[in-house]
Amino acid sequence: MIRFGAAFFFATLLLGCSNLPKSHDPDVIDVTIPASTEQVKTAVTRVLRDGGYKVDWRDAQTLTTSFREETQSPWDWLYLWRFGTIKSRVEAMVTPSAEEDARLRLQVLSEGKDGLFTSWENVQSALPQNAENQLRLIKNALHIL
């Protein structure tokens, strides 16, 4: 009886501590914006830089950023150990569309972890950094409703 109880306890412990990775829909927006390509590129660059990203235009159409620094203090290690964190980066492509319009494809890639001793995994984007909010900020910069 004791062996069965111990086996049941360890099986429950193992099943309770295991989890399956959650799949998240990609955080992507693909829209046509009624502004010139250069105006959209300038607005995207400004919004992302203001948001804490380091922007790098790989070529005339493709933008990538490094991971955004979410917290900056001497106590980061304690915060990350206790609560975990999410880090995000952005990939964008601005291409000419019809006459004066520009096509913008914006993807936010986020990774997170629950504590200091866990590994990074793909997570859903945090609300301030998600693609829809970034698009809203870009439209505001272009004065588009």
Q: Give the pLDDT mean for 16-30.
A: 66
Q: Domains in the chain, start-ordered, CATH in brackets? A: 27-141 (3.30.530.50)
Instruction: Note the pLDDT tens digit of each residue in 35-69.
Output: 999 999 999 999 999 998 999 999 999 999 988 86
Half-sphere exposure of 89 (CA within 13 A, CB side): 11
Instruction: Note the pLDDT tens digit of each residue in 62-110.
Output: 999 988 866 667 766 666 666 667 888 999 999 998 778 999 999 999 8
Tell me the whole-structure pTM to 2 decimals: 0.74
Whole-number Å distance between alpha carbons of 85 and 121: 11
